[in-house]
């Protein structure tokens, strides 16, 4: 191993000197985190452009002739897959996970730095393979992000040749990358915490990332299994998923395969995937709210247990994505029940966030605005989830814009708001520079109000019965004119939100170059990453001595304390104690 990652060893720290080893072929978790983040955000911008193109078609059908129906399906598919896997999963775990776990746990690095580095490069390879599918004959796959067979690999679907193969290969490569990273994150949390950092003193960000990684490690194999078998169906003509099909007047060679089997496997991965994205967001938002409200997180233990319960339950709800698939209807009852049960720990978390704000000394900083914005969008998306979790409500709504509105609220907007909040929050530590607050606020309000303007009307479209996945609605009796006006308005909002992201990028670049120099702990936070000797932290994070933790991560506004926060590594003052046991009410 190149340098020490284990808490209780005090060997010298290896320090790479060349530019190449320091910033490119680097084993430093912070550099790897930034590499992950840059690639994820770049590929996310591609997906954002694709969504803009889709919206142009939907808002102004017939105006943009360069968007053909097959292009539209390719945009949908690539937008969905990129956003869910290559942006959100990679950014939360590869980006924030990599940056925060060692720093928040008081470790020098991940326990397997070399494998961590490989994880990034393999991820980059997965992204490049996926991007390559834009340039192959037939273009990328247009099967929808769920890639359901038989249509995904049947002629007539865009990209049914090379496009889908590259997608499946890219997913396989991504899973290898994720497994290498995931082994690191879990082992580091279990093994490399510094002295005094008990599991129940870990910040909730680490808890969320930790649990999400465990989910990913157990769930991604389902995607791998389905990708391998679909690749074989497509290339060698096996019949795992492919039933006997007549295609363009010809009988294909497949016989007896089960498309439903694919759906089970896909959603056995796909539902935990929702929480792979949501749990890190839950954790990070808890820390943002607590820090910027200067108040301990309400119900820390309950928050941890809720994360664990959500993680466990997320494996037994997958078929609620399949109510209309033709599976045995008795399954519906079981999966509706488990789906509604998972609302309980989730609701506990929401209550605890709100109660954390209650009577707090709320500082409306940019990260705090995004965190509060998240509570709104998440409650909104969560409530529509209760609708869709019930079979009888889901059946009529399943193929409408209601579902699009629901999952974008809960899985698109909510985690992205947390991503922004987290970037604004940790940017000073990562770069040593402060943001321009005013531009940050502009970015927040444009994004927050803009996304509401996009997705709120979509619920209405869904209730009207407007079908999703359609390239153009045409003249259908049950679709009133107002739908077309709403679609145009949604498109304009979407373009405004996209433009707002340019403000974010501009602000980031300007702050990097000319931003005010950041103090080591600008938010006066308690967690370890703000207590490093250098800002940004140097290779090895802690200088010669590792920190020792004496308290939990949420000692804010302790009565009698000098300041309104006590860092985790500050020894316990016998006169003051460690917090609540002194009968304080905070």
Partner 1 sequence: MSNTVIFTALASGVIVWFLIASRLTAKSWESQDEKGDVGAIHTAPERIGLWIFMAVVTSLFSLFISAYAMRMHVGAWCHITIPNILWVNSLVLVAASIAMQRARWAADHGSRSGARAALVMGGMLSVAFLAGQLVAWQQVGPSVYFISGSPAIAFFYVLSAAHGLHLIGGLWVLGRTVSRFAAGAELVDLRLSLQLCSVYWHFLLLVWLVVFGVLLYL
List binders of partner 1 among 533-552 (CB under 8 A): 549-552
> Minimum CB separation from partner 1 for residue 119, in Å?
13
> Minimum CB separation from partner 1 for residue 351, in Å?
19
> Minimum CB separation from partner 1 for residue 230, in Å?
11
Q: Residue 277, interface with partner 1 (CB under 8 A)? A: no
> Minimum CB separation from partner 1 for residue 577, in Å?
7
Closest CA relative to residue 103, chosen from 565, 578, 521, 519: 521
* Cα-only R_g, the chain: 24
Q: With b meaning 16 or more CB within 10 Å and e meaning fewer, what string describes 400-430?
A: bbbbbbbbbbbbbbbbbbbbbbbbbbbbbbb
Candidates 31-39, 255-263, 424-432, 505-513; binding stretch for partner 1 (CB under 8 A): 255-263
Distance, in Å, from the CA atom of 104 to the CA atom of 210, rounded to the nearest integer, reads: 12
Q: Are 576 and 561 in contact (CB under 8 A)?
A: yes
Is 474 exposed, middle or buried, given 0-12, 13-18 or 19+ CB atoms closer than 10 A? exposed
User: What DSSP state is assigned to residue 108?
Assistant: S
CA dihedral 548, 550, 554, 558 (to 10 degrees): -130
Q: Residue 240, interface with partner 1 (CB under 8 A)? A: yes
Closest CA relative to residue 29, chosen from 217, 207, 189: 189
Q: Residue 305, interface with partner 1 (CB under 8 A)? A: yes
> Minimum CB separation from partner 1 for residue 416, in Å?
28
DSSP assignments along 279-302, one per residue: HHHHHHHHHHHHHHTTSPPTTHHH
Q: Residue 119, interface with partner 1 (CB under 8 A)? A: no
Q: Residue 455, interface with partner 1 (CB under 8 A)? A: no
Candidates 82-90, 119-127, 307-315, 435-443; binding stretch for partner 1 (CB under 8 A): 307-315
Residue 10: CB atoms within 10 Å? 11
Scan residues 351-380 and list those touching partner 1 (CB under 8 A).
Answer: none
Of 86, 92, 96, 300, the one binding partner 1 by CB under 8 A: 300
Q: Whose Cβ is closer to partner 1: residue 7's or residue 50's?
A: 7
Scan residues 89-108 and list those touching partner 1 (CB under 8 A).
Answer: 106
Distance from first CA to last CA of the chain, Å, rounded? 45
Of 25, 155, 237, 469, the one binding partner 1 by CB under 8 A: 237
Q: Whose Cβ is closer to partner 1: residue 196's or residue 522's?
A: 196
Q: With b meaning 16 or more CB within 10 Å and e meaning fewer, what string describes 555-567?
A: bbbbeebeeebbb
Scan residues 120-179 and list those touching partner 1 (CB under 8 A).
Answer: 179
Of 30, 79, 193, 271, the one binding partner 1 by CB under 8 A: 193
- If phi > 0 it is left, if psi is from -120 to 50 it is alpha, else beta; for residue 106 that is left
> Minimum CB separation from partner 1 for residue 86, in Å?
20
Contact pattern for partner 1 over residues 195 through 234, marking x by CB under 8 A: xxxxxxx------------x--xxx-xx-xx--xx--x--
> Minimum CB separation from partner 1 for residue 263, in Å?
11
Of 61, 312, 432, 522, the one binding partner 1 by CB under 8 A: 312
Closest CA relative to residue 409, chosen from 371, 456, 353: 456
Scan residues 58-77 and list those touching partner 1 (CB under 8 A).
Answer: none
> Minimum CB separation from partner 1 for residue 121, in Å?
18
User: What DSSP state is assigned to residue 87?
Assistant: I
């Amino acid at each position: 191993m190149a340098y020490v990652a284990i808490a209780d060893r005090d060997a010298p720290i290896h320090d790479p000197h060349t530019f190449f080893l320091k910033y490119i072929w680097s084993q430093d978790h912070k550099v790897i985190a930034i590499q992950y983040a840059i690639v994820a955000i770049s590929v996310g911008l591609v997906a954002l452009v694709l969504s803009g193109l889709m919206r142009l078609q939907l808002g102004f059908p017939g105006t943009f002739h360069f968007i053909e129906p097959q292009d539209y399906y390719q945009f949908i598919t690539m937008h969905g897959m990129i956003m869910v896997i290559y942006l959100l999963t990679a950014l939360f775990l590869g980006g924030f996970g990599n940056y925060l776990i060692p720093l928040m746990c008081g470790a020098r690095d991940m326990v397997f730095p070399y494998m961590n580095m490989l994880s990034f490069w393999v991820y980059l390879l997965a992204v490049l393979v996926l991007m390559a599918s834009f340039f192959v004959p037939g273009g990328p796959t247009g099967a929808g992000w769920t890639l359901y067979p038989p249509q995904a690999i049947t002629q007539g679907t865009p990209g049914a040749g090379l496009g889908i193969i590259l997608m499946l290969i890219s997913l396989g490569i991504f899973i290898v990358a994720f497994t290498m990273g995931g082994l690191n994150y879990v082992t580091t949390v279990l093994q490399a915490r510094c002295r005094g950092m008990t599991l129940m003193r870990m910040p909730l960000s680490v808890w969320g990332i930790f649990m999400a990684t465990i989910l990913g490690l157990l769930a991604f194999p389902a995607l791998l299994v389905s990708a391998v078998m679909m690749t074989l169906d497509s290339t060698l003509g096996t019949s795992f998923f492919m039933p006997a099909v007549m295609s363009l007047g010809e009988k294909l060679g497949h016989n007896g395969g089960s498309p439903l089997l694919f759906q089970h496997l896909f959603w056995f991965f796909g539902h935990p995937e929702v929480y792979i994205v949501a749990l890190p967001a839950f954790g990070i938002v808890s820390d943002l709210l607590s820090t910027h409200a200067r108040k301990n997180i309400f119900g820390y233990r309950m928050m941890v247990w809720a994360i664990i319960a959500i993680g466990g339950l997320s494996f037994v709800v997958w078929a609620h994505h399949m109510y209309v698939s033709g599976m045995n209807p008795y399954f519906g009852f079981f999966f509706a029940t488990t789906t509604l049960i998972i609302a309980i720990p989730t609701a506990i978390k929401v209550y605890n966030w709100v109660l954390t704000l209650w009577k707090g000394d709320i500082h409306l900083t940019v990260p705090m605005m995004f965190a509060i914005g998240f509570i709104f969008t998440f409650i909104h998306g969560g409530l529509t989830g209760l609708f869709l979790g019930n079979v009888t409500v889901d059946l009529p709504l399943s193929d409408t814009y209601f579902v699009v509105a629901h999952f974008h609220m809960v899985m698109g907007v909510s985690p992205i708001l947390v991503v922004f909040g987290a970037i604004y929050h940790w940017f000073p530590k990562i770069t040593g520079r402060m943001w321009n607050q005013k531009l940050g606020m502009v970015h927040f309000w444009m994004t927050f109000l803009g996304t509401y303007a996009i997705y709120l009307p979509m619920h209405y479209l869904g209730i009207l019965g407007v079908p999703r996945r359609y390239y153009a609605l045409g003249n259908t009796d049950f679709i009133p004119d107002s739908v077309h006006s709403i679609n145009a308005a949604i498109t304009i909002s979407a373009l405004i939100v996209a433009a707002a992201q340019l403000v974010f990028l501009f602000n980031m670049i300007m702050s990097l170059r000319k931003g005010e120099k950041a103090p080591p702990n600008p938010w006066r936070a308690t967690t370890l990453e703000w207590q490093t000797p250098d800002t940004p932290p140097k290779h090895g994070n802690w200088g010669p001595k590792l920190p020792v933790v004496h308290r939990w991560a949420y000692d804010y506004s302790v009565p009698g304390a000098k300041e309104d926060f006590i860092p985790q590594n500050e020894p316990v003052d016998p006169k003051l104690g460690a917090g609540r046991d002194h009968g304080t009410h905070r």
